[in-house]
């Protein structure tokens, strides 16, 4: 297969490129000329992605550049965007509108414009944030959407665009990812901040009181679900939750993490982020039924993986490609 992965220098995208190229597919890895990760990590991840066998790397802005090459594929996995609730407020709103909504609109339009037999299947990254906070039961895909931040609204808009494109004959799939963690996690995300603080001997910066909970999902499982969604014959425009069936409180995750590191659980409380869900909780029935997928990695095992990656980062010379 010829596969295009957008957001390929990013956390999830770089793993998806690894998986497709490892399975022998031809991959066009696309990311923006100006990347959103911290420069050190992004540059090193991109260097690694670009040198994988069977991978051609292209720096393209999906919101501005010509997308003919991006639409010429069997499958497009669209992971590019500006993630994160916190940065989407204020001036961030225009950025998420551009890179999550306008970029997705342009990408889908380029795919729809191809002759019907040559149109790729498009797997679009959505987010659990479209649900708002979960109630006393896990969120199912047909629950009403209650996006509570500009980021969540941008993801709900991208979903709508992908469903509309499905109506125009494009095979789209919407994957609602739930709090992804593991090696190469973005520096703004909770576990990345926690592990780096703990390794530096600083208190862990926690937004709120640590009682909010998440369906934390390991990136290895997210990649498996994404590849299954690319391979399976699914109803165009279908949404699927990609999340761990259990939700864990942030303070319990911190206890696990500091226990694994052998450091005291010292915390510095920060003001909660407006629009952040108090609970995310994935109903996994549809993913099981349509993709034959459930998240297999438990949190203790997955955190050990992420900790090992952070330790490894500290031993890699600046500028070198990282795993």
Identity of the residue, 61 or 196, whose beta carbon is nearer to ligand NAD in the bound complex: 61
* Nearest approach, Cβ of residue 77 and ligand NAD (Å): 10
Q: Name the residue whose CB lies closest to ligand NAD.
A: 10
Contact (Cβ atoms closer than 8 angstroms) between residue 123 and residue 1: no
* Nearest approach, Cβ of residue 295 and ligand NAD (Å): 13
* Nearest approach, Cβ of residue 109 and ligand NAD (Å): 14
Identity of the residue, 63 or 254, whose beta carbon is nearer to ligand NAD in the bound complex: 63
* Nearest approach, Cβ of residue 59 and ligand NAD (Å): 8
Identity of the residue, 25 or 78, whose beta carbon is nearer to ligand NAD in the bound complex: 78
d(CA 270, CA 142): 34
Identity of the residue, 6 or 71, whose beta carbon is nearer to ligand NAD in the bound complex: 6
Identity of the residue, 80 or 203, whose beta carbon is nearer to ligand NAD in the bound complex: 80
* Nearest approach, Cβ of residue 298 and ligand NAD (Å): 17
d(CA 133, CA 191): 20
> What residue ranges bind ligand NAD (CB under 6 A)?
6-7, 9-13, 31-32, 35-37, 61-63, 79-83, 99, 103, 125, 127, 177, 179-180, 186
d(CA 98, CA 80): 11
Using the CB atoms, write b or e for 294-318: b if 16+ within 10 Å: ebebebeebbeebbebbeebeeeee
Q: Specify whether 151 is catalytic.
A: yes
**Which one of 131, 151, 177, 181 is the catalytic residue?**
151
What residues are annotated to the active site?
A: 151
């Amino acid at each position: 297969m010829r596969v295009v992965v957008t957001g390929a220098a990013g956390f999830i995208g770089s793993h998806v490129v690894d998986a497709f190229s490892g399975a022998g597919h031809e991959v066009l890895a696309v990311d923006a000329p100006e990347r959103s990760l911290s420069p050190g990590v992004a540059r090193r991840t991109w260097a690694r992605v670009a040198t994988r066998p069977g991978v051609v790397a292209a720096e393209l802005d999906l919101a501005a550049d010509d997308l003919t090459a991006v639409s010429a594929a069997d499958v497009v996995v669209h992971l590019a965007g500006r993630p994160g609730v916190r940065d989407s407020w204020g001036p961030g709103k225009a950025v998420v509108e551009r890179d999550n909504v306008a970029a997705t609109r342009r990408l889908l339009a380029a795919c729809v414009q191809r002759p019907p037999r040559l149109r790729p299947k498009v797997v679009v990254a959505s987010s659990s944030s479209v649900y708002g906070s979960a109630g006393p039961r896990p969120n199912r895909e047909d629950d009403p959407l209650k996006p509570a931040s500009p980021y969540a609204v941008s993801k709900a808009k991208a979903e709508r665009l992908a469903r509309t494109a499905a109506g125009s004959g494009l095979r789209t799939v919407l994957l609602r990812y739930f709090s992804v963690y593991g090696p190469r996690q973005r520096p703004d995300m909770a576990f990345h901040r926690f592990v780096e603080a703990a390794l530096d001997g600083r208190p862990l910066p926690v937004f709120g009181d640590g009682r909010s909970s998440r369906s934390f999902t390991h990136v290895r499982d997210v990649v498996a679900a994404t590849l299954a969604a690319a391979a399976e014959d699914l109803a165009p425009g279908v949404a699927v939750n990609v999340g761990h069936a259990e939700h864990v409180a942030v303070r319990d995750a911190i206890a696990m993490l500091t226990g694994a590191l052998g450091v005291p659980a010292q915390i510095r409380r920060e003001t909660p982020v407006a629009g952040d869900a108090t609970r995310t909780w994935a109903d996994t029935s549809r993913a099981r039924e349509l993709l034959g997928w459930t998240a297999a990695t438990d949190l203790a095992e997955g955190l050990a993986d992420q900790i090992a990656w952070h330790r490894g980062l500290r031993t890699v010379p600046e500028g070198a490609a990282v795993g």
